[in-house]
Structure 1
Amino acid sequence: MAEWLLLTNVKDVDASTIALWYYWRWQIECFFKLVKSAGHHLESWQQESAMAIAKRLLVASMACVTVWAIAADKSKEAAELRLFLIKLSGRQMRHKKEFTNPALLSGLWVFLSMLEIMEAYSQEELDSLKATAQQFLGKDV
């Protein structure tokens, strides 16, 4: 077994509180990873007003919260949804790794885009587009 140490200069606070603070710090780091590099690319946003940034950050934050809820749910349905989102993301997982939050976020984006398309086009229009795509691909889609 390994021993884990957390060094701090904070005094008059019990160790369990400091460990809790550290836990929350890492949750924030995971959030920033999703927002900055693993999905939303926050650092490349080019909004020109504080309100535009706030609105976009709100939407990105809600997507992250949704992914965390999907990741944390232990139900069979949530496990099936995670597998489905991973397939949609096109990302490969490391050996014995069921999912990652960035992959879930990517798959969720694809799924939401699919739902929007399914609402915008009729089944006949989608079948026609599928047939056209098959002509270009030379195989069944």
Structure 2
Amino acid sequence: MYWKMKDDKDKSERLRYLNEQKQIQNQKRRFYLDRIEKLKKSLLGYHKKGIEYNRGWIAFHEKSIERHKKEIQEVITLNEKQEQEEKLKFHIEQIESHHKKYIEYHEKEIGFLEKEVQLFERGIKSCEEQLIFLNKKIEENKIA
């Protein structure tokens, strides 16, 4: 009889432990899902908008470059030509030293965020595997 009571107590402790572990895995899984959602909604969106924004500026500068090239060929005075060349130089510098660098920055950040999302997705998969295992063990201990 003592052994039966001890075995019931052990079984009860095992079930308590397994249910605690199940709760922990569910919390981790929810955390990972929440983190992925936040990353995708806010940060990935922010960086994608940053890329679009800078591409818009590049398009603007490219149109301006074409316009200034035309005006350089059409102007008569040296002063006008130099003025158009300065404007042309400004637009080229803006593309090269500003907008392209920001696009590179945003693309790099997107790459980092995508890797972070992948890590959380692996964490979710691991939690789901653990939950399957724990559910199986809980059922086994209920039956035994």
For normalisation by structure 1, the TM-score amounts to 0.24
Looking at secondary structure, tell me which structure has more helix per residue: 2
Compare CA radii of gyration and give the structure with the larger one.
Answer: 2
